[in-house]
Amino acid sequence: MILHFAILLSFQLAGEVFSRLAFPSAPGPVIGLALLVFALAIFPKLADELRETVNGFLAHLSLFFIPAGVGIVTQLPQIGADGLAIFAAILISTAAAIAVGALTFAGVSRLIGGGDE
Amino acid sequence: MNDVSTLWVYLSASPLTWLTATLIAYLIGHAAFTASGKLPIINSVAIAVALIGGALLITDTPYATYFDGAKFIHFLLGPATVALALPLWFNRAAIRRSLIPMAAALIAGSVTAVVTAISVGLAFGATPETLLALAPKSATAPIAMGVAEGMGGAAALTAVMVILTGVTGAVIATPLLNLIRVKDPKARGFAIGVTSHGIGAARGFQESEQTGAFAGIGMGLNGLATTIIAPLIVAWLL
């Protein structure tokens, strides 16, 4: 467990270093994710080692968004002023993007014959 | 009485109080979700944010004081993002077969998210500051905040739009995708991740591991796509 956590943090740290040095527009953890995929390609056994810890971790992914979410209390005046516009824009835009994205994915899969297997 | 208020002065400023409160609020949200028979509308993030936000407003506690305790949980977003490499790795065969549908869905979903957010916001008379915060809202928070700031927007307001978009997607994705009869977990997950980033991915993992894995890829790719697409569309529409 501690070892697994150390591995994840090491990749995040490496990602932060890459982000600072080479790709400032990509966040460190996202680069760390890509680096870990590369590492798994070279050492596939690492995946079995990490699997249980990672599954437990990702099962409660929602928890980690709560502190940032509570930040909404600092923006209540701005949100209040534009409340209806924000509500409508987010609801309509989120629904439209999910529908368009999923239908495009499914449609193109069918076209190229690589769909539901 | 005096002892109680002294104790509260100590507790309300202690990181331990708000760290504990965050975990308990999440457990309450998660218990409500489980008790509802796992209805997506009972979203644990939304419940926890409402409980803690309400507590902060009632007790007049500044967000900075809250975050001093909650930052330990916030920090775990980093290693959790790195951990998404594993489901990606286990689904690598399906991912390799889906490169073309993913590219098409990425462009279609990302452009739709930015164009509809700005045009609906404009139609309802949103201020320019709100519009700039809405534009990159489907990207994961650190990317969206950077993109909004690059266009002259406010990072803190953008973070709120990102969270609201994540929770909205997590709530509506399952019924919406059932309604339009998209059954393929790859298509479902990818669209959820492109639109609703990590909070959507958390919902994706509740549907299946493959849905979550594809949501993780959708989130990562749309983070990159938004840095290019959002400024272009903002320049065109605003």
B162-181 b/e with 16+ CB inside 10 Å = b?
Answer: bbbbbbbbbbbbbebbeeee
Cβ-based contacts of A116 with chain B (< 8 Å): 183-184
| B105-155 per-position pLDDT tens digit | 999 999 999 999 999 999 999 999 999 999 999 999 989 999 999 999 999
Cβ-based contacts of A109 with chain B (< 8 Å): 98, 101, 184, 186-187
Tokens (6 digits) for A5: 């956590």
Residues in contact with A15: Cβ distance below 8 Å, sequence separation at least 6, in sequence order: A27, A28, A29, A30, A31, A32, A33, A34, A35, B82
| Residue boundaries of the structural domains of chain B | 2-75, 82-237
Report the C-alpha gap between B181 and B186 in whole angstroms: 13
> Are B81 and A12 a contacting pair at CB < 8 A?
yes
In this model, does residue A6 exceed pLDDT 90?
yes
Residue of B nearest to A63 (CA): B26
> What does DSSP assign to residue B186?
H
Amino acid, single-letter form, for residue B123: A
Asked whether B216 and B201 are in contact (CB, 8 A), the reply is yes
For residues B136 and A1, which has the higher predicted lDDT (pLDDT)?
A: B136
Report the C-alpha gap between A14 and A29 in whole angstroms: 9
Report the C-alpha gap between B114 and B111 in whole angstroms: 5
Residue ranges of chain B with per-residue pLDDT less than 50: none
Tokens (6 digits) for A91: 């609801």
Tokens (6 digits) for B73: 């949980």
Question: In angstroms, what separates the C-alpha of B1 from chain A's closest C-alpha?
Answer: 29
Among residues 58-117 of chain A, which lie with CB inside 8 Å of chain B? 58-75, 78-79, 81-82, 84-86, 88-106, 108-109, 112, 114-116
Judge if ipTM > 0.85: yes
Residue of A nearest to B124 (CA): A85
Among residues 24-53 of chain B, which lie with CB inside 8 Å of chain A? 25-26, 29-30, 43-46, 48-49, 52-53
Q: How confident is the model at residue A103 (pLDDT cuts 50, 70, 90)?
A: very high
Q: How far is CA B221 from CA A25, B140, B193, B224, in A?
A: 13, 10, 9, 5
Across the interface, of A5, A33, A103, the residue whose CB is closest to B84 is A33
For chain A, say whether B77 makes contact (Cβ under 8 Å): yes
Q: Residue B114's closest CA among B235, B214, B2?
A: B235
Report the C-alpha gap between A93 and A89 in whole angstroms: 6
Q: Residue B87's closest CA among B218, B195, B205, B206?
A: B205
Report the C-alpha gap between B69 and B80 in whole angstroms: 19
| A20-41 per-position pLDDT tens digit | 999 877 788 989 999 999 999 9
Report the C-alpha gap between B7 and B3 in whole angstroms: 6
Q: What is the pTM of this model?
A: 0.91
Number of H helices, E strands in chain A: 6, 0
pLDDT of A114 reads 52
Tell me the average pLDDT across A79-97: 96
**Residues B172, B134, B67, B50, CA torsion sign:** negative
> Are B184 and A109 a contacting pair at CB < 8 A?
yes
Cβ-based contacts of A54 with chain B (< 8 Å): 83, 86-87
Tell me the average pLDDT across A59-73: 93
